[in-house]
Structure 1
Amino acid sequence: MHDDSTAHEPARSEVDALEGATVVEFGASWCGHCRAAQPAIAAALAAHPRVRHLRVEDGPARRLGRAFRVKLWPTLVFLRDGEEVARLVRPTAAGEILQALGQIDHAA
């Protein structure tokens, strides 16, 4: 798994230009929902090692989250070649994440 955890917020154009399968995870380090979802996210991503995983710290005045219309955390946006294929808001189980990953990771 390619996990790019960063406080750096990429531009929307950078995200749109990504090739292959990518999950963009919007959240905040202090968010209880985000922390609770981490085991399910990690388990699902472990089954899809080719999927790029970008964690983006979200909050007021953070443009990328607004560009993706993020309202609640965590929000997972599943992209294939920069195009949104699926989205999960506050996932609680690895199964639902695995299902969305299957839509973007065609090599699985």
Structure 2
Amino acid sequence: MTMNTTYAASEPSRADVDALTGPALVEFGAPWCGYCQAAQPALAAALADQPGFRHLKIEDGRGRRLGRSYGIKLWPTLVVLRDGREVARVVRPTAQREIADALAQAAG
């Protein structure tokens, strides 16, 4: 799957995310967040090297349950999953390498 460029207006339930099979990346952030915008080129490059990843781009904020269930405090936070279980996390990434290393932990 290719990288999503738009934040989802509605979030999936935690049960839906936990039920995902295979590798997945859940990106928490907001479209107006400067850190989120700055991370997009590195994220796109890292995901281009991992075409088997599902990418969920979730708009986070006050009252959003999914982000709270993962303890999200800073944006962007990338939660890397394998079969619905967290295997890696990257907070405010600045380089493709740190994202690629996290993705590699779930790609196997």
In the superposition, the TM-score normalised over structure 2's length comes to: 0.95
**Equivalent pairs, count:** 106
What is the deviation of 1:3? 4.0
Q: 1:59 to 1:12 in 2, by over 3 A?
A: same
Unpaired runs of 5+ residues, structure 1, are none
Identity of aligned residues (%): 62
Aligned counterpart in structure 2 of residue 19 of structure 1, from 13, 18, 21: 21
Q: CA RMSD in A?
A: 1.0
What is the deviation of 1:7? 1.2
The aligned counterpart of 2:51 is: 49
Distance in 1 separating the partners of 2:12 and 2:3: 14
Unpaired runs of 5+ residues, structure 2, are none
In the superposition, the TM-score normalised over structure 1's length comes to: 0.95
| Stretch of structure 1 that moved more, 5-14 or 89-98 | 5-14
The aligned counterpart of 1:8 is: 10
AA in 2 matched with 1:100: A
AA in 2 matched with 1:17: A
